[in-house]
């Protein structure tokens, strides 16, 4: 059996009781180590808590060496640990498909992830639209594929959760081209970088999916002891020091409920100014008034 086990967001003890019981009985335990990190735990603390060796599974092993992970899983129990929930990344879905092609049984043990814990900022989960990812820009690559999805969410009034890029065990283009296994230091996108990149793309596209005054919520270290939120305009967040990682960002939709707004006030610098931002944003994407179709009285024509 292959078990995909969610670890939650922060502590080694955030694993569920059933997940811990499974880990203790598995022959091998892998930790997926590139789509996210536990903010208050590491490989060593996990091994101490589980009483088991934990094998780090980087991007290369998961994406090209799945046979190594799945080896013997027809007869033995193998655990694949994922920060958050097992289905938080498409890579994990691919691993399940490969396992099933080999006739290996698969079971998922779920846990909290940013996709549901984001509700801690005060915005209602029912009011979220498509989630998008924002990657680090380079000198030659500034992708804007997220933009249309943000626009779609905004037009129907829904909030957008933006997941910010992390780079763990990544190679530079030069080292990759030369075949040198030299890895760059880990990098985690912060709120200021994300907001600046969003503003840059809006300036290039000019379609006003959002503006510098669009209200947003910066989320830092969600689920950790130092979890913080900051509600402000996009241009204000482009200069915001969000501290240590991990970070994510929510762009508010037009349909902000009164209770959501009241909750967000505890994270603003100026309640009246933030309310004005929200009201102006709601007006911009307000649907046009309904116009009844004109009836044709001359049915013979």
119 annotated ligand-binding residue: no
**218 and 123 together in one domain:** yes
113 annotated ligand-binding residue: yes
**DSSP code string of 174-209:** HHHHTT---BPPPEE--HHHHHHHHHHHHHHH-S-S
Q: What is the pLDDT of residue 30?
A: 96
Q: What is the DSSP code (8-state) at residue 168?
A: S
Q: Which CATH number goes with the domain that contains 97?
A: 3.40.1010.10
Q: Between 191-205 and 147-155, two packed helices, what is the crossing angle to 10 degrees?
A: 80
**147 and 28 together in one domain:** no
Q: What is the pLDDT of residue 230?
A: 98
User: Would residue 211 count as lying in a domain?
Assistant: yes
**33 and 140 together in one domain:** no
Relative to beta strand 160-164, strand 187-188 is unpaired
Q: What is the pLDDT along the chain (301 residues), one digit of tens a residue?
A: 999 999 999 999 999 999 999 999 999 999 987 788 899 999 999 999 999 999 998 877 877 778 899 999 999 999 999 999 999 877 788 899 999 999 999 999 999 999 999 999 999 999 999 999 999 998 889 999 999 999 999 999 999 999 999 987 665 556 556 666 666 678 999 999 999 999 999 999 999 999 999 999 999 999 998 999 999 999 999 999 999 999 999 999 988 999 999 999 999 999 999 999 999 998 887 777 777 787 765 555 5
User: Would residue 260 count as lying in a domain?
Assistant: yes
Q: What is the pLDDT of residue 260?
A: 97
**99 and 141 together in one domain:** no
Angstrom distance (rounded) from CA 239 to CA 248: 15
> Among 12, 96, 79, which residue's Cα sits nearest to residue 50?
12
- Domain count across the chain: 2
114 annotated ligand-binding residue: yes
Q: What is the pLDDT of residue 44?
A: 95
Q: What is the pLDDT of residue 297?
A: 59
Question: How distant is the alpha carbon of residue 168 from its chain centre?
Answer: 16
> Are 235 and 199 contacting, i.e. CB atoms less than 8 angstroms apart?
yes
88 annotated ligand-binding residue: yes
85 annotated ligand-binding residue: yes
User: Would residue 293 count as lying in a domain?
Assistant: no
Name the residue range of residue 220's domain: 115-285
User: Would residue 295 count as lying in a domain?
Assistant: no
User: Would residue 294 count as lying in a domain?
Assistant: no
Q: Which CATH number goes with the domain that contains 190?
A: 3.30.950.10
> Are 94 and 143 contacting, i.e. CB atoms less than 8 angstroms apart?
no
**150 and 252 together in one domain:** yes
**193 and 95 together in one domain:** no
Q: What is the pLDDT of residue 292?
A: 79
222 annotated ligand-binding residue: yes
**71 and 142 together in one domain:** no
User: Would residue 301 count as lying in a domain?
Assistant: no
**145 and 88 together in one domain:** no
**99 and 119 together in one domain:** no
Please tell me the pTM assigned to this model. 0.89
User: Would residue 300 count as lying in a domain?
Assistant: no
């Amino acid at each position: 059996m292959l078990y995909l086990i969610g670890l939650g967001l922060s502590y080694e003890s955030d694993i569920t009781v059933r997940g811990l019981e499974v880990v203790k009985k598995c022959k091998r335990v892998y930790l997926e180590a590139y789509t996210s990190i536990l903010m208050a735990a590491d490989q060593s603390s996990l091994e101490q808590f589980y009483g088991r060796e934990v094998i780090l599974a980087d991007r290369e092993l998961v994406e090209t060496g799945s046979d190594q992970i799945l080896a013997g899983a027809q007869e033995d129990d193998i655990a694949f640990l994922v920060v958050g929930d097992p289905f938080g990344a498409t890579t994990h879905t691919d691993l399940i498909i490969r396992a099933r092609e080999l006739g290996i049984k698969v079971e998922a043990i779920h846990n909290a992830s940013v996709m549901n814990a984001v509700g801690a900022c005060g915005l209602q989960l029912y009011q979220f639209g498509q989630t998008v990812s924002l990657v680090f820009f380079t000198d030659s690559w500034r992708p804007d594929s997220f933009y249309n999805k943000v626009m779609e969410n905004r037009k129907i009034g829904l909030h957008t959760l933006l997941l910010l890029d992390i780079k763990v065990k990544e190679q530079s283009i030069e080292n990759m081209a030369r075949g040198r296994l030299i890895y760059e230091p880990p990098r985690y996108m912060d709120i200021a970088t994300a907001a600046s990149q969003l503003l840059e793309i809006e300036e290039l596209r000019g379609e006003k999916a959002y503006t510098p005054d669009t209200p947003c919520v910066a989320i830092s270290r969600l689920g950790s002891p130092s979890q913080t939120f900051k509600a402000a305009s996009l241009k204000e967040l482009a200069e915001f020091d969000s501290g240590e990682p991990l970070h994510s960002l929510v762009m508010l939709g037009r349909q902000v409920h009164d209770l959501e707004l009241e909750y967000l006030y505890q994270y603003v610098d100026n309640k009246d100014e933030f309310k004005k931002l929200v009201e102006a944003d709601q007006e911009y994407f307000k649907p046009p008034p309904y116009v009844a179709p004109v009836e044709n009285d001359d049915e013979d024509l």
